[in-house]
Each structure stands twice: as C-alpha cells, then as structure tokens.
C-alpha cells in the first residue's frame, strides 16, 4: 500500500504558487506539491494553514471567491490549468468535494448524484449502481431531500456525487468535519477502497492528522501558507515534531495545556 | 340566487383572471430569483420591451428609425411589410435570448459574488436603460397589439349563466382574452415545472439555486445556466407582454406592472413557481372582492390600488417566506 503512490508518474504538479484574495490578502506563500497517479496524498495543517485554498487553486474555484493565483504554476498531466474553467477541469477528471459537504439541500440524494454526471453524456445508471454499491446507505435514502439527511450521509452524498463524473483525481476537502470518529473511519475506509479498486487518486486536505496519515501514502504539512514538511505517511507519523504538534503525543507523555505556548518556539522547522 | 351574490361572484372571477396577469409577471421574477438570488427589478421592463419588439416586428418598423432619420435626414417609416404574428413571436423570442446573453456578458459576469444589493442596483440600472433603449429602438407612442387572440366578453358564457339570477342579471361578463391568458399561464407553469423536474438542465438549474459553489464544483457552468434562466424569464416576459399589451395597448406604463408583482411574490414566496400563480390569483381576486364588498360601499372606492400592498405587509409580519417559499432547511 505504502509505495503504490511514489513509484508512478506524477498526475498533478503544483509549483510554488502564491494566492491572494481580494487583491490584498496573501494566503499561500509558495506552495509546491505533487500528486502521483493512484495515490492518496494528504495535505495537513491547522485552521487557516491554506489547505482549502490550495485545493481551490487547483480546481479553479478561487475565481468565484475573488481569489487569484498570482505566482507559480499548476499542471495537470503536464498542461497548465490556469485558463480552464471548473467545468473543463471536471471534464478532464479533476473534481473537488468541498469542505462542509455542500449537498444540494432541496434536491433528493439521487438528484444530487445525477448532478455529478452533468458534464458527461450517455447513460449514468451504471455509475449510480457503482456509487450505491460503495455507499449502500445512500441507496436507502435516495428519495429523501439531501438537506434532511445526516452529516455522514451528506458527506457520502458529496463523495458519491463527485464519483458520478468518473474522475481520475478527487480533491477531498476535510471529509472528517463534524463527524463521529466511527463515521470518519468508515468514510476513510471507503476512500481507500475507491483508491485501490477504482484507481481514483486523492488529494486530501485534513485536520485530523492521525486518521489522514493512517490512510494516505504521502503527506504535506502546511503552516501559514507554506509547506513546512513533507514525506511518506509512515515517516511523518514517526517524526517527533509531527507527533508532538499534530498527533498530541511526545516522548515526555501527555502535555498539559500550560506548556502549549512553548510548543511554537520549539518547532524545529521554523528555526 | 340573489343578484348581489352573483355580482360578487363575477367580481371574484374577473379578479382571478386579472390575477393571472399579475402571476405571469411574478413568474419571471421567481425564475431569476430562484436561480441566482437576484431580484430582477427590470422584469416589468422586459415585458414592455418584449411587447414593443413584437409590435415593431409585426408592423415592419425599422429599429432606431427616429435616430436614423435624425442623423441622416432620411424619411424612413418602415420596411413596408407586415410580419405574420407567429413569425414575429419567434423572432422576438430570439431577441430576448440575445438580451439574456448580453445581460450575462455585460453585467452578471462582472458582478459575481458581489453582495445581493449590488446586483439589485444593477437591475434597477438595467430597467432604466432598457426603457430608454426600447424607446429609442421602437418609438415612444402607444401601440396597438393584436396577435389574433380573441377579445371582448364571451357571449356564450353570458347567455349560459344569465338564468342564475333575476331580471337585473345578464350573466357573467368574462373577457375571452383573460381566458386565453389563464390557459397560457397554465401551460407555462406545467412546462416550467416539467422542465425543472425532469430534465438535466432543469436539475442543474435547481442545483444552482441551492448552492452556487457546489454547482461550480461539479462542473455546472453558471454562465450557461444564467443565460438559460434569463432567456426563460425573457420568454415569460413576452407572454406577459402579449397579454397586457393586447388588453391595454403597448405603452410605457406597462413597466409599472412590475410593482404589482411585488405583493404577489411576498404572498406566494419568492422562490416558488406555484406560489407566484397562487399569489397572483389571491391578490387579483382579493382586490376585486374587497373593492366590491368593502371598498366601494364603505371606504369610498379606489381600494384596488393599495389592497395588494397591505395584504403583502400582513404576510411579511406573519409569514415572511410566503405561502410556498422554500423552507429554510436547518439541521440541529
């Protein structure tokens, strides 16, 4: 599982991008990363680190939020994505599952899934069956309005909707948000299945470092709009800094919150 | 039956018919509001512009003839032919689609993600621009619109209902044009509902109405959807323009019917297509009945002008989302 990602060709190359919102707010200060074909790549970091912005820069959803990539390049299959609309990217196989699910509340679950196939032509029944086979719960709720389903079901609906476009790469933003630990495990398990059986590559933005590093192959840690560390997931998991700052364990055992402030000073990568 | 009751019934029926016309205008508002959150102040002017264009094409007018005559000193008055109504309607639909594309290109595209109030201001600007543009293009005189729809009271209905009352009652007076308008509205609503429920583009339209960002993320092109919606709203405006224009001539006060659509929307809900229809019917019937039963005998009449707004005010207090507005889904 672990080296599946690294040996293969790179699908997505993000090269030193800088993103500015509203012409003034500098959010990303030079982020570079690469997503290999067939891998699960995790983008980790706290609130405001720039994970979501990175994903939106790739999927070109930034424009509608008055954000702009001002420096650097993003290439998918070697082609620049800068001038592509989100719709064109979906057609090329890159689709984003947004943070906070964003299901269409007044549409039924099945209608939600069907919107995912908007850019495609031809029959979609096969894809519906596929989605229902991965998410049997959605099949049960297919006639209910998405707004009335549970948070977990909405997350499944959002991922299923993305699957309907037959994507090559899914940009998955914070799938664990607001979900019970059990559900988080279930959803990550399905992500892994999709990766292994359907060959979908994932770029995963996640705050829950613990879970993300267990399921991902490779990880990037973002802080204040910069990549501060990257490496194979199992190495990151063993890294003493990651352990201390993101996984909440350290050699000295549990820390009390009183010592938290001193964490910042001791970060090795910032000195 | 006592004549008084029959007269009240006649007032109610005529009110329903007038309500259909309000509903037609309100429908255009709902379509745009639902899919883009924009309250399109220009919808009434759209109806006017559509009617002007239709008359202009039917009569073979040269667009901008006054302007051309003024600049080049020519004496243009028209092409000298008359276009059949059906063809003129088709051409006008084309003009409304071009207008929708222009609105998207020149206005909406540049105002993406701006606050609603800015978009609203933009539509006010659009309304005044369109009014002036229509004037410049087709002239400011009142025009007669006759696309061959039946008009005048229906004798058949009068004759067959006269037996209901006594000697003073001659049967219900119902304008045949109102009946046509009702049928047209029914067809429009059924068509639009079927379109939004059962087609791929209709589903995309509802998706955009729910969540712009998510719609973008699954690859729905907002620009295309906006052009689509504004085109449909333009076509609805054309239908409204034909009905109002046939009834009272194509004149610039037509754009003011937009204001009557406002209480209709508050009653029916800004986001509901059936709501626009039911709201229109209630307002239309309510104001006629109120005038007949209370207004004329007790208040000195002329209540039709304000009744709708008072009713809307009451709704704003007790049921702000209207009768059929989208329930706000909130999970706890």
Least confident window among A15-24, A133-142, B50-59, B172-181: B172-181
Contact residues, chain B, for A87 at CB < 8 Å: 216, 219-221
* Residue B56 CB contacts under 8 Å (≥ 6 apart), including other chains: B63, B137, B138
How far away is chain A from the Cα of B29, in angstroms, using its nearest Cα? 20
Contact residues, chain B, for A161 at CB < 8 Å: 218
Cβ–Cβ below 8 Å for B217 and A105: no
Cβ–Cβ below 8 Å for B217 and A59: yes
Of the candidates B259, B260, B285, B280, the residue with the CA atom closest to the CA atom of residue B269: B280
Of the candidates B213, B218, B326, the beta carbon closest to that of A95 is on B218
Cβ–Cβ below 8 Å for B113 and A89: no
How far away is chain A from the Cα of B228, in angstroms, using its nearest Cα? 15
Of the candidates A65, A90, A148, the beta carbon closest to that of B329 is on A148
Of the candidates A203, A200, A205, A206, the residue with the CA atom closest to the CA atom of residue A165: A200
Query: For chain A, what percent of residues have pLDDT higher than 70?
Result: 89
Query: For chain B, what percent of residues have pLDDT higher than 90?
Result: 32
Q: At what angle do helices B43-58 and B116-138 cross, to 10 degrees?
A: 20
Task: Count Cβ neighbours within 10 Å for each residue of A112-140 and write b for 16 or more, e otherwise.
Answer: bbbbbbbbeeeebeebbebbbebbebbee
How far away is chain A from the Cα of B109, in angstroms, using its nearest Cα? 10
Cβ–Cβ below 8 Å for B329 and A147: yes
- Token representation of residue A191: 């992500």
Q: Check: CB of residue A228 under 8 Å from CB of residue A74.
A: no
Would an 8 Å CB–CB cutoff place B207 in contact with chain A?
A: yes
Q: For residues B25 and B55, give the distance between their C-alpha atoms in angstroms, rounded to a whole number.
A: 19
pLDDT beyond 90 at A258: no
| pLDDT for the residue numbered A252 | 63
Contact residues, chain B, for A63 at CB < 8 Å: 112
* Residue A60 CB contacts under 8 Å (≥ 6 apart), including other chains: A81, A84, A85, A86, A89
- Mean per-residue pLDDT of chain A: 88
Q: How far is CA B252 from the centre of its chain?
A: 15
Q: How many CB pairs under 8 A join A and B?
A: 86
- Locate tokens 């994507």: which residue? A167
A269 pLDDT band, cuts 50/70/90, is low
**pTM for the whole thing?**
0.84
Cβ–Cβ below 8 Å for B213 and A85: no
Could you state, in order of their start, the residue ranges of all structural domains in chain A?
A: 10-99+169-238
Cβ–Cβ below 8 Å for A118 and B204: yes
pLDDT in tens, A68-81: 999 999 999 999 99
Q: Which stretch of DSSP H or E encloses residue B282?
A: helix B273-290
pLDDT beyond 60 at B245: yes
Q: Within a 10 A sphere around the Cβ of B99, how many other Cβ atoms? A: 23
Would an 8 Å CB–CB cutoff place B97 in contact with chain A?
A: no
User: ipTM of this predicted complex?
Assistant: 0.86
Residues of A with CB under 8 A from a CB of B: 59, 61, 63-66, 85-87, 89-91, 95-98, 102-107, 111-112, 114-116, 118-119, 145, 147-148, 151, 161-162, 165
String of DSSP letters for A124-176: -HHHHHHHHHH-HHHHHTTTSBGGGS-HHHHHHHHHHHHHTT--SEEEEE-TT
Q: Check: CB of residue B215 under 8 Å from CB of residue B204.
A: yes
Instruction: CATH number for A10-99+169-238: choose from 3.40.50.720, 3.40.50.2300, 3.40.50.2000, 3.40.50.300.
Output: 3.40.50.300
Mutate to test the interface with B, among A59, A97, A102 (most CBs of B within 10 A): A102
Would an 8 Å CB–CB cutoff place B115 in contact with chain A?
A: no
pLDDT in tens, B275-319: 888 999 999 999 999 988 888 888 887 888 889 999 999 988 888
């Amino acid at each position: 599982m672990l080296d599946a990602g690294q040996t293969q060709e790179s699908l997505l190359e993000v090269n030193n991008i800088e993103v500015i919102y509203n012409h003034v707010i500098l959010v990303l200060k030079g982020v570079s990363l690469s997503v290999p074909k067939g891998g699960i790549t995790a983008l980790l970091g706290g609130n405001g680190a720039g994970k979501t912005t990175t994903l939106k820069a790739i999927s070109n959803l930034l424009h509608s939020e008055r954000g702009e990539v001002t420096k650097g390049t993003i290439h998918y299959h070697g082609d620049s994505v800068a001038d592509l609309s989100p719709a064109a990217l979906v057609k090329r196989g890159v689709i984003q599952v947004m943070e906070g699910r964003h299901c269409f509340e007044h549409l039924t679950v099945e209608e939600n899934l069907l919107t995912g196939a908007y850019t495609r032509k031809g029959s979609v029944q096969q894809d519906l069956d596929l989605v229902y086979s991965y998410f049997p719960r959605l099949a049960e709720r297919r006639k209910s309005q998405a707004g009335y389903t549970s948070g977990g079901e909405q997350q499944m609906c959002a991922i299923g909707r993305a699957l309907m476009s037959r994507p090559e790469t899914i940009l998955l933003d914070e799938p664990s948000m607001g979900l019970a630990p059990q559900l988080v495990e279930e959803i990550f398990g399905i992500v892994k299945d999709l990766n292994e059986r359907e060959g979908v590559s994932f770029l995963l933005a996640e705050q829950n470092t613990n879970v993300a590093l267990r399921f991902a192959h490779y990880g990037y840690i973002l802080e204040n709009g910069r990549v501060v560390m990257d490496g194979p997931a199992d190495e990151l998991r063993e890294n003493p800094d990651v352990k201390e700052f993101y996984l909440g364990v350290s050699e000295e055992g549990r820390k009390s919150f009183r010592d938290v402030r001193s964490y910042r000073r001791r970060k090795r990568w910032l000195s | 039956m006592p004549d008084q009751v029959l007269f009240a019934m006649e007032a109610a029926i005529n009110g329903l018919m007038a309500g259909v016309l309000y509903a037609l205008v309100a429908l255009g508002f709902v379509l745009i509001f639902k899919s883009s959150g924009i309250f399109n102040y220009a919808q009434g002017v759209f109806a006017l512009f559509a009617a002007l264009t239709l008359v202009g094409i039917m009569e073979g007018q040269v667009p901008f003839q006054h302007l051309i005559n003024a600049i080049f000193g020519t004496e243009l008055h028209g092409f000298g032919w008359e276009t059949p109504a059906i063809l003129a309607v088709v051409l006008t639909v084309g003009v409304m689609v071009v207008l929708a594309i222009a609105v998207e290109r020149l206005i909406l595209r540049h105002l993406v993600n701006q606050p609603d109030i800015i978009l609203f201001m933009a539509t006010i600007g659009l309304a005044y621009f369109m009014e002036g543009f229509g004037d410049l293009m087709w002239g400011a005189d009142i025009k007669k619109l006759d696309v061959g729809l039946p008009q005048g009271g229906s004798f058949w209905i009068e004759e067959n209902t006269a037996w209901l009352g006594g000697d003073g009652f001659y049967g219900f007076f119902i304008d045949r044009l109102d009946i046509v308008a009702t049928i047209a509205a029914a067809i429009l609503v059924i068509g639009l509902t079927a379109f939004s429920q059962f087609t791929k583009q209709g589903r995309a339209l509802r998706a955009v109405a729910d969540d712009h960002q998510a719609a973008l993320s699954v690859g729905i092109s907002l620009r295309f959807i906006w052009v689509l919606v504004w085109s449909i709203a333009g076509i609805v405006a054309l239908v409204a323009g034909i009905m109002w224009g046939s009834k009272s001539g194509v004149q610039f006060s037509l754009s003011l019917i937009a204001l009557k659509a406002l209480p209709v929307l508050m009653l029916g809900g800004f986001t509901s297509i059936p709501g626009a229809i039911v709201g229109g019917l209630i307002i239309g019937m309510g104001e006629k009945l109120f005038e007949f039963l209370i207004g004329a005998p007790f208040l000195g009449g002329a209540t039709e002008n304000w009744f709708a707004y008072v009713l809307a005010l009451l709704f704003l207090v007790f049921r702000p989302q209207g009768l059929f507005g989208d329930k706000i889904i909130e999970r706890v």
